[in-house]
Amino acid sequence: MSDDAQLDLARKRISDVRDQIARLDNSALDLVFREARSHNWFTDKPVTDEQLHEIYDLVKYGSTSSNTQPMRLIFVRTPEAKERLKPALMPANVEKTMIAPVTAIIGYDPTFWEDFALNYPIRPEMGDRFKGNEAVAEKFAFQMGTLQGAYLMLAARAVGLDTGGMGGFDPAKVDAEFFAGTPIKSNFLCNIGYGDLEGIKGPRLHRYDFDKVCSII
């Protein structure tokens, strides 16, 4: 296909979607944002491979700078793999993680730039700034990987699952156990499943109002 035809097609895909839908309705916004809670307890309803694929196939469309996509994911599901994760968890996060059908280890790859030309062929030379500059690559990978982790939580909620993010773990232990021999590092964990309401111990906590934390200039 010629470049012009590809451009026409790309624009048509956008306009076709806009013709179909202008915005999410209130129920969808409630599901993904307003009524979505962090879950501490999960029912035994399993999360299938198909669901994990469906979630990733949404997450991958979330934007990252220069389309770099540095997030790397391990979905921990088997009891054996959960046991490997257990020693790294803060005590308060152990039980809920053992019960959750899936725990995602959201990691990031500081050597993501090796794929720069694949992911950003329009300006491949922009990847050169990361070569031999570990601090820059690390910061960039962590920033974009964190964004992708947030996309993961929203995608899981969008397909009807519940999530519980966790920063309470020892990253060095997770890295040694799950990412040994690779440059990948862990960022945060996220339990995924169907929330058991027994784990909800109170109402939604305070959120800042617009005027407190936003300005329009």
Q: Which residues in this chain contact ligand FMN in the complex, by CB under 6 A?
A: 37-38, 92-93, 165-168, 188, 204-205
From the number of C-beta atoms within 10 Å of its C-beta (0-12, 13-18, 19+), residue 142 rates as middle
Strand, helix or coil for residue 45: coil
Nearer to ligand FMN (CB atom), residue 127 or residue 164: 164
Minimum distance of ligand FMN from residue 188's CB (angstroms)? 4
For the CB of residue 46, give the shortest distance to ligand FMN in the complex, in Å.
Answer: 22
Closest CB 140 distance from ligand FMN, rounded Å: 19
**CA dist., res. 68 & res. 114, Å (int):** 10
Minimum CB–partner distance for residue 121 and ligand FMN (Å): 32
Which residues does 144 contact at the CB level (< 8 Å), separation at least 6?
Answer: 64, 65, 68, 69, 70, 71, 108, 112
At its nearest, how many Å lie between ligand FMN and the CB of residue 114? 27
Between 113 and 169, name the residue whose CB sits nearer to ligand FMN.
169
Residue nearest to ligand FMN (CB): 165
Would you say 18 or 206 has its CB closer to ligand FMN?
A: 206
Residue 171, H or E segment: helix 171-178
Nearer to ligand FMN, 165 or 171 (CB): 165
- Taking the least distance from each CB to ligand FMN, the nearer of 60 and 204 is 204
What is the distance between the alpha carbons of residues 46 and 41, in angstroms, rounded to a whole number? 13
- CA gap 166, 182 in Å, rounded: 23
Residue closer to ligand FMN (CB basis): 165 or 183:
165
In whole angstroms, how close is the CB of 11 to ligand FMN at the nearest point?
Answer: 36
Start-to-end CA distance of the chain, whole Å, equals 44
